[in-house]
Structure 1
Amino acid sequence: MNNPTNAQPTSNILDAAAANGTFKTFGKAVEKAGLSDTFRGPGPFTIFAPTDAAFEKLPQGKLENLFKPENKDELVSILNYHVVSGLKSSADVGKWESARTVHGQAAPVKLVDDKVVIDGAQVTAADIASSNGVIHGIDKVNMPAAPLSK
């Protein structure tokens, strides 16, 4: 989102994701996981949000299974693996070797052809501003190897 006036964005992470139009499934996942209030909260958050196309790459039935109430903990775990505390631009993230996620597991980060890649997912839309953080769109749903940290 270009913001030439440097005015503070007024939409929160979820509203900014919805306005973008390519994060509908991510928004639905956040809702199903019961994390909507958290992502509308003060933050700041850095979200590596899988695009709708990234969710389509999941094995058939995986997303529907994750959306079942009995799998809420797994869905929360996966979503938390896409969140880093604080406000981190793609330029910041590109300097890291790993990102400490809210999930508790570190996600490997590397720069490939000047593109940020986090745990194998390439950032396809960087630095989408919101009032409580920033969104980086990614082309893959990352799955944590470790169980929930709680």
Structure 2
Amino acid sequence: MKIVKTLFAASALALTAGGAFAENPMVGGAAMYADKNIVENAVNSADHTTLVAAVKAAGLVDTLAGDGPFTVFAPTNDAFAALPDGTVETLLKPENKEMLTKILTCHVVGKAVMSDALQGMIKDDGGKHPVPTLGGCTLQASYMGDKIVLEDENGTKATVTIADVEQSNGVIHVIDAVLLPKM
């Protein structure tokens, strides 16, 4: 019996230690470090090169590298590629900086919101929760199966494909579509 108790205690300790050192998910083939900020991590993701270029073109690097906290719903390169031909190239032009900034900040919330908290808010609100963004857009969060889905003011839906990527100044949730301000 003493051996069983000892094994149980050791197993409990190992599980606790394992949880304390849980790693962030990999994103775009790169490790994401909770002690680095959103920009420091995003530049390493092969799946977010378009987003990083857009953040630079919009002049948002210093903001997203700042204290936060922020929640960033980060569209992948494939999400940007799904936009109509020429859209990304047009938005990256200096004369379109204001519109690009508006689009990007419609993917940013001014607090760190982990997926379990967002799921709780969705449940508390009867299946849909409004998410106000720094860009003045209000996204509607809901679930589809076990995935969080965000809908912009135009009806475009994005699914969170990788949740809870912790950052020193917030959290990133990877999404599969670009969300736009009301058109």
The alignment's TM-score, normalised by the length of structure 2, stands at 0.74
Out of 72, 78, 81, which is 2:103 matched to?
A: 78
1:46-94 alpha-carbon deviations (Å, 9 max, x no partner): 0001011111101000000000111000000000100011110112222
What SS does the aligned partner of 2:140 have? strand
Counterpart CA distance in 2 for 1:91 and 1:21 is: 27
Unmatched runs of 5 consecutive residues or more in structure 2: 1-18, 24-32, 123-128, 152-156
Q: Would you say 1:118 and 2:143 are equivalent positions? A: no
Unmatched runs of 5 consecutive residues or more in structure 1: none
Aligned to 1:131: 168
Report which stretch shifted further, 18-27 or 69-78: 18-27
What SS does the aligned partner of 1:125 have? strand
Q: Would you say 1:57 and 2:82 are equivalent positions? A: yes
What SS does the aligned partner of 1:23 have? helix
Q: Would you say 1:105 and 2:130 are equivalent positions? A: no
Contact 1:33/1:72, CA 8 A, preserved across alignment: yes
RMSD (CA atoms):
2.0
How big is the shift at 1:4? 4.5
How big is the shift at 1:10? 2.0
Give the percent of matched residue pairs that are identical in Structure 1 and Structure 2.
41
Counterpart CA distance in 2 for 1:130 and 1:61 is: 32
Cα distance change, pair 54–4 in 1 and its aligned pair in 2 (3 A): farther
Q: Would you say 1:144 and 2:181 are equivalent positions? A: yes
Letter of the 1:76 partner, please give it. Answer: T
How big is the shift at 1:104? 1.5
Out of 38, 56, 60, which is 2:63 matched to?
A: 38
How big is the shift at 1:5? 2.2
Contact 1:16/1:129, CA 8 A, preserved across alignment: no
Counterpart CA distance in 2 for 1:48 and 1:81 is: 9
1:23-43 alpha-carbon deviations (Å, 9 max, x no partner): 111111100000000000000
Aligned to 1:5: 21
Bigger RCO (CA 8 Å, 6+ sep): 1
Aligned length: 145
The alignment's TM-score, normalised by the length of structure 1, stands at 0.90
- Whichever structure has more helix as a proportion of its residues is 2
